[in-house]
Structure 1
Amino acid sequence: MKKEWVFGTVIGISLVLGACGAASTSDDYDPNEAGAEDIEPDMAGFVMDQDENRILVVTPMDEETAKEGRAMWVSEAPEGLWIGKQVEVWVDGAIAESFPEQATAERVQELEMSEVEGADLKASEALSTALSEADRENILAVELLAFDQQADQWTVKLKERGDSQGEWKTIVKDEK
């Protein structure tokens, strides 16, 4: 009987001490602070349009499932030219469930695209050039962004989102 009581006491103390060591959350938590855990972005995709401090972020087309993904107008983006860049977005507050969705940016971070061997343009520059030539009345999603080293050109294939489901393909010469 005494052994059971001692064993029970040891288990109880272990549980109490374990609870004391548990991390607590704080309202002062800053995800950008050194050593803080990274929080997953609310959305990632290509910036397909920009209107002053608002950017339209659209996820690329998924070839395997033909799923269209998401489109979101993000307000309060940092100043600069964003069209063509691949970004991650963290949202401050609620996301309006319209089409496209609408939200306010807490943080927008450009994703570094690897350099393409033999290409003068970055992939973001090729996409930006293609978008400047495209009719952007409808929301476009990236279906293909590829560099052909022999032809020294980029192939950009975009697909319209929504009811029309049209496709648009262009060749961008690889020159700055």
Structure 2
Amino acid sequence: MKMRWMLGMFMVFSLSLSACGLSETEEVDQNEVEAEASDPDMSGFVMDQDDDRILVVTPMDDGSGDEGRAMWVSGAPEGLWVGKQVEVWVDGDIAESYPEQATAEKVQELEMSEVQGADLKASEALSTALSETEPEQTDVLIVSLLSFDEESDQWTVKLDRRGTDQGEWKTTVKDEK
């Protein structure tokens, strides 16, 4: 009996030691993990671009009367951003003006699903429409409608203006690359 008890204890001890094995771990930057796990500070459409600065504007919220949030974000990665839908993580404080101003820690493009029957992506249609507008320097354009009509093979883009020239601007974009 004493032998069985000692054998049982030996097995428990052996199993305990084997469970305490060592494994290699990779060093991880804690700030990087927190940035990936945190929600973005803002998401919306890029309505204007000036070098590494992009103007991100939230779309109109139907029925709420909300004007939409707008933010000039500096430090955006190189590339053409106008028309794309993005998420922005801010590095530091946000200046509370209209539009707000901040420096980007990270800017990530959101993949917009392709529209059945359309040659253009929604971001391309919006970018084309924005290239046709001539807003005043103080105007902020907010997307209130972005839709594709397969029958007429064209996109309808409706923008609301905020700033000195308040009002609505609507255009159609032919669905061709």
- Please tell me the TM-score bracket, short chain as reference: 0.7 to 0.9
**Pairing of 1:24-173 with structure 2 (within 5 A):** 28-32=29-33, 38-137=37-136, 138-162=139-163, 164-173=165-174
CA contact (8 A) 1:84 1:127 kept: yes
Distance 1:46 1:37, change over 3 A: closer
- Determine what percentage of the aligned residue pairs are the same residue: 75
Name the SS of the counterpart of 1:69 in structure 2: coil
Name the SS of the counterpart of 2:80 in structure 1: coil
Q: Which whole-Å deviations, capped at 9, do the CAs of 1:20-75 have from their partners, x for residues lacking one?
A: xxxxxxxx523458xx8621100000000000000000000111212112100000
Residue 174 of structure 1 corresponds to which residue in structure 2?
A: 175
Higher-Rg member (1/2): 2
Q: Could you list the runs of 5+ residues in structure 2 that have no partner in the other structure?
A: 1-28
Q: Could you list the runs of 5+ residues in structure 1 that have no partner in the other structure?
A: 1-27
Name the SS of the counterpart of 1:168 in structure 2: strand
Q: How many residues are aligned here?
A: 147
Could you state the TM-score of these two structures normalised by the residue count of structure 1?
0.80
What RMSD, in angstroms, separates the aligned Cα atoms of the two structures?
1.5
Structure 2 CA distance, aligned partners of 1:92 and 1:120? 37
Structure 2 CA distance, aligned partners of 1:128 and 1:48? 8
| 4+ residue segments displaced more than 4 Å | none
Could you state the TM-score of these two structures normalised by the residue count of structure 2?
0.79
